[in-house]
């Protein structure tokens, strides 16, 4: 009789768990991911989930508090349902933040890879231009774009794109400079790899993790920045629901004992921004190849 064949790992070796299993161990990041997915789904389905039109006004119930029958988050100064407006405001906030940050990440990968890998005048020109954007105040940039395009979603989206681009490009540039002289690239060059193959097959996988993590956390910061622009009147324009404008409108009635009008959208901003930050921290731990 032959003994059954068993396979065991060598002593002292461990099998690296999958990224999903590592993410599930981080309860805060996992909860943040679930919360963000719920926010995305709720915002996308706002036309069907919202019990009222976001601009439907009931003057008789204006400034109704939390738990008002039929309006569990209350009503604002114009008698509009806050729950409906928070759902619709999420559409405006995420539409103004997610596509620009994604576009900035893609541009940053292209510019950072090229500037970090190719040393020369063009590389210096790219980085000095990005440094100018980095030094330019974001609020002044928003005012300038609002003057050209008019206040609204287009100006805000462009502001977020140009504001996020230099930060993300700097991350890519620094990672490429740290990796370009390492042995595995020298080995790839010796085997006849072209510059394009070096960039796409060797460098890109090593810098992508930093971009994904930083872009995720940057979304949270840009949500707060967007709320500030809307508070100043440079963001999404009325009557379209927007969290920052809702806080601005609610601030006028806070001292009259109706704090919920500003607190509800403010809590939405804080919760979503924190969720993106916590998810970014979790992704850093999951995707870091050194762990």
Tokens 């039929």 correspond to 70
Which of 229, 230, 226, 250 is CA-nearest to residue 240? 230
pLDDT value at residue 1:
44
Are the C-beta atoms of 178 and 118 separated by less than 8 Å? Answer: no
β partners of residue 68: 71
Q: Structurally, how many domains does the chain consist of? A: 1
pLDDT tier, 45 (very low <50, low <70, confident <90, very high otherwise): very high
For 198-245, the pLDDT digits (tens) are 777 777 878 888 888 889 989 988 998 888 888 777 777 778 888 888
Does residue 45 sit within a domain? yes
pLDDT at 55 over 60: yes
Burial class of residue 135, CB neighbours in 10 A (0-12, 13-18, 19+): exposed
Instruction: List Cβ neighbours of 32 (8 Å cut-off, separation of 6 or more).
Output: 274, 275, 276, 278, 279, 282
pLDDT at 120 over 90: no
Burial class of residue 122, CB neighbours in 10 A (0-12, 13-18, 19+): exposed
Does residue 232 sit within a domain? yes
pLDDT at 16 over 60: no
Taking the C-alpha atoms of residue 226 and residue 84, their distance in angstroms, rounded to an integer, is 20
**Residue 2 structure tokens:** 């032959």
Are the C-beta atoms of 247 and 269 separated by less than 8 Å? Answer: yes
For a pLDDT cut of 70, what percent of the chain falls above it?
Answer: 90
Does residue 13 sit within a domain? no
Does residue 7 sit within a domain? no
pLDDT value at residue 122:
84
For a pLDDT cut of 90, what percent of the chain falls above it?
Answer: 19
Does residue 161 sit within a domain? yes
What's the average model confidence in pLDDT over 38-64?
A: 90
- Residue predicted with more confidence, 167 or 24: 167
**Residue 134 structure tokens:** 């980095």
In terms of residue numbers, what domain contains 155? 22-287
Does residue 253 sit within a domain? yes
For 57-92, the pLDDT digits (tens) are 888 888 888 888 888 888 888 889 999 999 999 988
Which of 82, 34, 86 is CA-nearest to residue 270? 86
pLDDT at 4 over 50: no
Q: CATH number of the domain that 200 lies in?
A: 1.10.3720.10
pLDDT at 2 over 70: no
Are the C-beta atoms of 9 and 15 separated by less than 8 Å? Answer: yes
β partners of residue 75: 81
Does residue 1 sit within a domain? no
Does residue 258 sit within a domain? yes
pLDDT value at residue 18:
65
């Amino acid at each position: 009789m032959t003994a059954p064949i068993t396979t065991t790992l060598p002593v002292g070796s461990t099998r690296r768990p999958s990224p999903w299993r590592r993410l599930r161990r981080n309860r805060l990041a996992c909860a943040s991911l679930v919360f963000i997915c719920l926010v995305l789904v709720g915002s996308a389905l706002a036309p069907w989930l919202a019990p009222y039109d976001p601009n439907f006004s009931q003057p008789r119930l204006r400034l109704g508090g939390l738990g008002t029958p039929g309006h569990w988050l209350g009503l604002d100064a114009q008698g509009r349902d806050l729950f409906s407006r928070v759902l619709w405001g999420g559409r405006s906030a995420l539409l103004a933040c997610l596509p620009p940050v994604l576009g900035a990440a893609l541009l940053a990968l292209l510019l950072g890879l090229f500037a970090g890998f190719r040393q020369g005048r063009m590389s210096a020109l790219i980085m000095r231009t990005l440094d100018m954007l980095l030094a330019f105040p974001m609020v002044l940039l928003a005012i300038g774009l609002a003057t050209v395009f008019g206040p609204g979603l287009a100006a805000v989206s462009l502001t977020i794109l140009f504001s996020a681009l230099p930060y993300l490009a700097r991350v890519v540039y620094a990672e490429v400079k740290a990796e370009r002289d390492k042995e595995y690239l020298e080995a790839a060059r010796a085997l006849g790899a072209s510059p394009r193959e070096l960039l796409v097959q060797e460098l890109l996988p090593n810098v992508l993790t930093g971009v994904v993590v930083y872009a995720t956390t940057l979304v949270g910061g840009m949500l707060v920045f967007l709320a500030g622009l809307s508070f100043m009147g440079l963001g999404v324009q009325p009557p379209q629901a927007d969290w920052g404008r809702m806080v601005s409108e609610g601030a006028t009635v806070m001292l009259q004992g109706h704090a919920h009008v500003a607190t509800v959208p403010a809590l939405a901003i804080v919760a979503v921004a924190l969720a993106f930050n916590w998810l970014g921290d979790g992704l850093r731990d999951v995707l870091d190849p050194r762990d």
